[in-house]
Amino acid sequence: MLPKAILLDLDDTIISYNGAADAAWQISCSNFVSALEPSFDEAALLDSVYKARNWYWGDPDRHRTGRMDLQQARRDVVRIALEDLDYFHAESTLQMADGYSRLQEELICMFPQSEETLEKLKSMGIKMVLVTNGTTEKQRGKIARFNLSRFFEFCLVEGEVGFGKPDTRVFQLALERLDLSPRQVWMVGDNLVWDVEAPQKLGIHSIWNDYRKEGLPAGTRVKPDRIIHSIAELLE
């Protein structure tokens, strides 16, 4: 049985964000080699970028700071990746990082069936709330671009409310504004810590969107109440 309300994550739950990021990094590395440094090994550059990216975003504090200034975060990632390859040209670093940012924004798209699923849930009378981390400019931009506000009772954006996932205050705020108890609400998202472990602390039924279909990471302490691969499965 479906709940009275569903809290939904945005990036990599409703829209494809990391998929766009992977494609954009591949193109950016290819462009960098062909236009600026033909002597570079493209595969080695991409590998260095991925290592720098994983290191940068792997730290919760650095993640919190970086997502509030994505342009600088991406410049830092590229600088670290290139320095690991003994490349120290600031102008080229900025060119690659900023080119990546533009390309990644262009490649973001809705997951298949996201719009139809949201329309169906709304038609069934289920209240929905968007709970998303990031700046107001970036997240509201995506909400407007894909015309998502029409589906939601309200949107809780980290840059607007002053705190975000995994801070349980953001889920508590959603419950208060909905005037519902935790047992009447589901949370759905792709991040095991932010979207599953955190809301479970309040007693919210938490569903992990394993959009990559990779299964739970080995050794994880998080136990989702349910695992799906697309929000369309919420209707099953």
pLDDT tens digits, 73-113 = 999 999 999 999 999 899 999 999 999 999 999 999 999 99
CA-wise closest residue to 9 among 71, 52, 18, 83: 18
Under a CB-based contact definition with an 8 Å cutoff, are residues 134 and 159 in contact?
A: yes
Tracing tokens 């570079």 back to the chain, one arrives at 40
Distant-in-sequence, close-in-space partners of 195: CB < 8 Å, separation ≥ 6: 9, 13, 165, 187, 188, 189, 206, 208, 209
% the chain with pLDDT above 70? 100
The CATH class, in words, for 5-16+109-235 is alpha beta
The reported pTM is 0.92
Q: Cis link prior to 224 (omega < 30° from 0)?
A: no
